Amino acid sequence: MRRGVVVLVGVAVLAILAGCSGIDTALHQPLEQDPATDQIGWENGYWYDESISVTTEDGLNESEREAVLARTMARVEQIRGLEFEGNVTLEVISRDEYRNRSTGLGVSGDPWNEQVWEGLLLVGEDRQVENAFGDTFNSSVQGYYAPANDSIVIVSDSETPTIDRGTLAHELVHALQDQEGGLAGSPPTQDRQLASQSVTEGEANYVQAQYRNRCDSGRWQCLEKPPRGASGGGQATDGVFLVIYQPYATGPEFVAQVRQSGGWDAVTELYDTPPNSTEQVIHPEKYPGEQPANVTVPDRSSDEWSRFDHDPVADTVGEASIYGMLTVHGEAEVPRDEVYEYESRPSAGWAGDALVPYHNGSGDGADAAGYGYVWETRWDTERDARQFESAYRSILEGRAAERPGENVYVLPESDPYGDAFRVVRDGQRVTIVNAPSRAELSDIHSRSSG
Q: What is the pLDDT of residues 350-402, one digit of tens each?
A: 999 999 999 998 666 666 679 999 999 999 999 999 999 999 999 999 999 99
Q: Are residues 314 and 431 in the same domain?
A: yes
Specify if 152 maps to a domain.
Answer: yes
Q: Are residues 211 and 116 in the same domain?
A: yes
* Tens-place pLDDT, residues 11-39: 467 777 543 333 343 434 445 667 877 89
Q: Are residues 148 and 24 in the same domain?
A: yes
Specify if 112 maps to a domain.
Answer: yes
Question: Given this model, what pLDDT does residue 369 score?
Answer: 76
Please write down the HEC assignment for all residues of the chain: CCCCCCCCCCCCEEEECCCCECCECCCCECCCCCCCCCECCEECCEECCCECCECCCCCCCHHHHHHHHHHHHHHHHHHHCCCCCCCCEEEEEEHHHHHHHCCCCCCCCCHHHHHHHHHCCCCCCCCCHHHHHHHHHHHHEEEEEECCCCEEEEEECCCCCCCEHHHHHHHHHHHHHHHCCCCCCCCCCHHHHHHHHHHHHHHHHHHHHHHHHHHHCCCCCCCCCCCCCCCCCCCCCCHHHHHHHHHHHHHHHHHHHHHHHHHHHHHHHCCCCCCCCHHHHHCHHHCCCCCCCCCCCCCCCCCCCEECCCCCCCECCHHHHHHHHHHHCCCCCCCCCCCCCCCCCCCCCEEEEEEEEEECCCCCCCCCCCEEEEEEEEECCHHHHHHHHHHHHHHHHCCCCEEEECCEEECCCCCCCCCEEEEEEECCEEEEEEECCCCCHHHHCCCCCC
Give the distance, in angstroms, between the CA of residue 237 and the centroid of all CA atoms in the same chain: 16
Question: Given this model, what pLDDT does residue 37 score?
Answer: 78
Mean pLDDT over the full length of the chain: 88
pLDDT at 51 over 50: yes
Q: Considering only CA atoms, which of 87, 76, 114, 197 is closest in space to residue 370? A: 114
Q: Are residues 312 and 427 in the same domain?
A: yes
Which residues are bridge partners to 51 per DSSP? 29
The torsion angle over the Cα atoms of residues 319, 320, 326 and 329, rounded to 10 degrees, is: -150
pLDDT tier at 450, thresholds 50, 70, 90: very low
Q: Considering only CA atoms, which of 295, 317, 291 is closest in space to residue 239? A: 317
pLDDT at 422 over 50: yes
- Gap between the Cα atoms of 154 and 162, Å rounded: 8
Question: Given this model, what pLDDT does residue 354 score?
Answer: 98
Specify if 243 maps to a domain.
Answer: no
Q: Are residues 217 and 334 in the same domain?
A: no
* Tens-place pLDDT, residues 319-354: 999 999 999 999 998 777 767 899 999 999 999 999
Q: Considering only CA atoms, which of 143, 136, 148, 185 is closest in space to residue 167? A: 143
Question: Given this model, what pLDDT does residue 230 score?
Answer: 47
* Tens-place pLDDT, residues 283-305: 999 999 999 999 999 999 999 99
- Which residues constitute the domain of residue 324? 306-444
Sign of the alpha-carbon torsion through 338, 344, 346, 349: positive
Q: Are residues 55 and 146 in the same domain?
A: yes
Q: Are residues 363 and 221 in the same domain?
A: no
Q: Are residues 66 and 171 in the same domain?
A: yes
Specify if 196 maps to a domain.
Answer: no
- Percent of the chain exceeding pLDDT 90 equals 70
* Tens-place pLDDT, residues 125-152: 999 998 899 888 888 899 999 999 999 9
Question: Given this model, what pLDDT does residue 228 score?
Answer: 57
pLDDT tier at 237, thresholds 50, 70, 90: very low
**Residue 410 amino acid letter:** V
Q: How many CB atoms lie within 10 A of CB 383?
A: 12
pLDDT tier at 417, thresholds 50, 70, 90: very high
Least confident interval from 77-81, 336-340, 415-419: 336-340
- Gap between the Cα atoms of 282 and 320, Å rounded: 8
Q: Are residues 210 and 337 in the same domain?
A: no
- Gap between the Cα atoms of 2 and 4, Å rounded: 7
- Gap between the Cα atoms of 229 and 242, Å rounded: 22
For the residues 229-237, what does the mean pLDDT come to? 46
Question: Given this model, what pLDDT does residue 31 score?
Answer: 52
Do the Cβ atoms of 251 and 202 come closer than 8 Å?
Answer: yes
Greater confidence (97 vs 450) lies with 97
Specify if 269 maps to a domain.
Answer: no
Specify if 261 maps to a domain.
Answer: no
Q: Are residues 18 and 150 in the same domain?
A: yes
Do the Cβ atoms of 15 and 143 come closer than 8 Å?
Answer: yes
pTM of the shown model: 0.91
Question: Given this model, what pLDDT does residue 54 score?
Answer: 83
Specify if 64 maps to a domain.
Answer: yes
pLDDT tier at 163, thresholds 50, 70, 90: confident
pLDDT at 194 over 90: yes
pLDDT tier at 250, thresholds 50, 70, 90: very high
Question: Given this model, what pLDDT does residue 405 score?
Answer: 92
Number of domains present in the structure of the chain: 2
Q: Are residues 227 and 316 in the same domain?
A: no
Question: Given this model, what pLDDT does residue 19 score?
Answer: 34
Specify if 111 maps to a domain.
Answer: yes
For the residues 143-165, what does the mean pLDDT come to? 89
Q: Are residues 183 and 327 in the same domain?
A: no
Task: Label the pairing between strands 429-435 and 420-426.
Answer: antiparallel
Question: Given this model, what pLDDT does residue 32 score?
Answer: 60
131-166 burial code (b ≥16 CB/10 A, e <16): ebbbbbbbbbbbbbbbbeeebbbbbbbbeebbbbbb
